Structure 1
């Protein structure tokens, strides 16, 4: 690889995160050499999407000490992380937007679709009163991380819950700047995007993956928590990555090793109906949040996940699917009881 200044992905990452953090996270991830080879005055949607994922992975590690410790251990072993997917949660009211944000997943499909993502499958999460959707990159399906984007359906709860949700999430603001929207419009139209414009837009798009509503009153938080751990989690953490996932060769063996080391690993593996997708996770790290009443309280934060994917014999390619049962089990990592 030639000088980093000639590498589009490095230039975007370093401009967004700073030189030290940017170089460090790029050295942490196993990235498709073809993406690293991109150079020139314009930025492909694939390179921009990968830079977004790199920055979001960096943010996740900053908020999840247990995940950062695991990643550092892998680096000490001379290994890199294959970033499989990131997950985020949204709020979906029965009608209209979520405050100033587009409703539910629309707040993020307006970002993902112009960057080359397409919806691969829908996963009903009925027990959680949610719907999950997988978005895979059309150009680089196996090597640019997927997004598992879920909506919590407020209208599946009672009126008291709905009123509290409106008070909390109705304060949401829209973080996308004019520059960010212009770049997304250009990508959506298939136009070339100059590197200077991409560098200017990326921080605002990264910032969309955060909390953009006011911290709730504790009484409203408790009300949501009494009905839905997932809704309460969104109330304090917003649309930040709920988890990031490391694709490993043998998740069962890794889980046993981490368990023997005393890591806070999930009790059992989640195995898809096909048997080809196997997942587990570290339990969510705690986070301290300042509520509207001025009190700081400890709540569940985000977590780090692991997945093994086998080849689908019908296609001869990696099985990139998810599984409703797996997802429901993994979501429990952020419940207060967990």
Structure 2
């Protein structure tokens, strides 16, 4: 088939995930028809951004059995997932990069901004010694998933914590190749990208959403955990998707049904100050991770979240905001109160 007739979004998904996994994931998601119109052998920034999110959603379900089971039941009921946003965590040292990675959110704004994302709002997460930022797509803000990108400020902790953080995160490598950076540079100046170049770049850019540092020493993990559940989580999970979120019509009713089904639900809803944004989640699934001593230990992994958004009466459009209180409550889903097993 010539490139003139190829659905670029499908082609990117198939090349990256394989045919079966790509079609399974595409069938799970409610995708804006406007994102299925790129043909003629080039890929717009919006379609590339959606393909990136499809890859990230697939990876999240691969790591989160509770989320995968929920999605399977949704499909069995004849539904689809409206992928609202994904979240990831980064480390910010007071000065300089994080190993070979740009510091904090800079490791991802170099991806998001060329792909058409704009920073929509800043959310201080002072209790967690973190800052969150929402990145929203300029072309299709309601139908391309947002990113909730947070960074943990190492300099807000004590010196002992800073030394452990430097040992753990200082080993980070930069996964982006010159070819992938060149594709992002083309998007950054407003060009479309040949399909073959986009196919080559997508797996490399997806690799940025992973752990880039070496397995941590268990002693360092425990020290980070004693000060910050979030730092300990990043030590084992890195910059992987912390959660993916399903936008549903009535999250309260859904939560009651899922509790009745004995799913691993958060106890209560998080409701924004405006009342228009309501969130809940499954508790994080446990995963086994390798530590520097060669031992596998059980730690909290990622999780699956649910959100309902109402219309903002001032704009007449969907309220796409987040809420500091909601975010702080949702972050607790990955708490490791007892730490990793020995």
- Asked if TM exceeds 0.5, the reply is yes
- The 2-side partners of 1:70 and 1:203 are apart by 26
Within 2, Cα distance between the matches of 1:37 and 1:115? Answer: 17
How far does the alpha carbon of each residue in 1:77-112 deviate from its partner, in whole angstroms, 9 at most, with x for none?
Answer: 111000000000000000000000000000000000
1:207 aligns with 2:207: yes
Give the superposition deviation at 1:4.
11
Shift of 1:199: 0.5
For residue 42 of structure 2, give the secondary structure of its aligned residue in structure 1. Answer: coil
Judge conservation of contact 1:4–1:11 (CA < 8 Å) in 2: no
Where 2:274 maps in the other structure, the secondary structure is: coil
Q: How does 1:204-283 map to 2 (within 5 A)?
A: 204-283=204-283
Q: Which digits, 9 at most, give the CA deviation of each residue in 1:182-215, with x for residues without a partner?
A: 0000000112211110000000001100000001
SS at structure 1 position matched to 2:160: helix
Residue 150 of structure 1 corresponds to: 150
Shift of 1:178: 1.3
Which sections of structure 1, spanning at least 5 residues, go unmatched? none
Number of equivalent positions: 336
Task: Name the counterpart of 1:170.
Answer: 170
Cα deviation 1:143-173 (Å, max 9, x = unaligned):
0000000000000000000000000000000
Does structure 2 conserve the Cα–Cα contact (< 8 Å) formed by 1:269 and 1:278? yes
The CA distance in 2 between the partners of 1:154 and 1:146, in whole Å, is: 26
Does the CA contact (< 8 Å) of 2:242 and 2:302 recur in 1?
yes
For residue 27 of structure 1, what is the aligned residue in structure 2? Answer: 27
- Residues 108-156 of structure 1 show CA distances to partners (whole Å, capped at 9, x for unaligned) of 0000000000000000000000000000000000000000000000000
> Contact between 2:4 and 2:41, CA under 8 Å: does it hold in 1?
no
Question: Secondary structure of 2:104's match?
Answer: coil
Mapping of residues 1-338 of structure 1, within 5 Å: 6-337=6-337
Question: Runs of 4 or more off by more than 4 Å in structure 1?
Answer: none
Report the 3-state secondary structure (helix = DSSP H, G, I; strand = E; otherwise coil) of the residue aligned with 2:95: coil
Does the aligned pair in 2 maintain the 1:209–1:239 contact within 8 Å?
yes
Measure how far apart 1:309 and its partner are: 0.2
TM-score scaled by length of structure 1: 0.98
Contact 1:133–1:148 (Cα < 8 Å) also in 2: yes
CA contact (8 A) 2:5 2:39 kept: no
Following superposition, the deviation at residue 37 of structure 1 comes to 2.2
Normalised to the residue count of structure 2, the TM-score between the two structures is: 0.97
1-side partners of 2:59 and 2:4: how far apart? 22
Query: Helix, strand or coil for the counterpart of 1:306?
Result: strand
For 1:231 and 1:201, locate their aligned partners in 2 and report how far apart those are by CA, in whole Å.
30
* Distance of aligned partners of 1:28 and 1:5 in 2 relative to their CA distance in 1, 3 Å threshold: farther
Query: Separation in 2 of the partners of 1:218 and 1:319?
Result: 42
| Distance in 1 between residues matched to 2:169 and 2:6, nearest whole Å | 42
Gapped regions of structure 2 (runs ≥ 5): none
Which secondary structure state, in structure 2, belongs to the residue aligned with residue 252 of structure 1?
helix
The residue matched to 1:30 in structure 2 has which SS?
Answer: coil
User: For residues 180 and 318 of structure 2, what CA distance do their matches in structure 1 show?
Assistant: 33
DSSP 3-state at the match of 2:78: coil
| In 2: Cα distance, 1:94 partner to 1:157 partner | 11
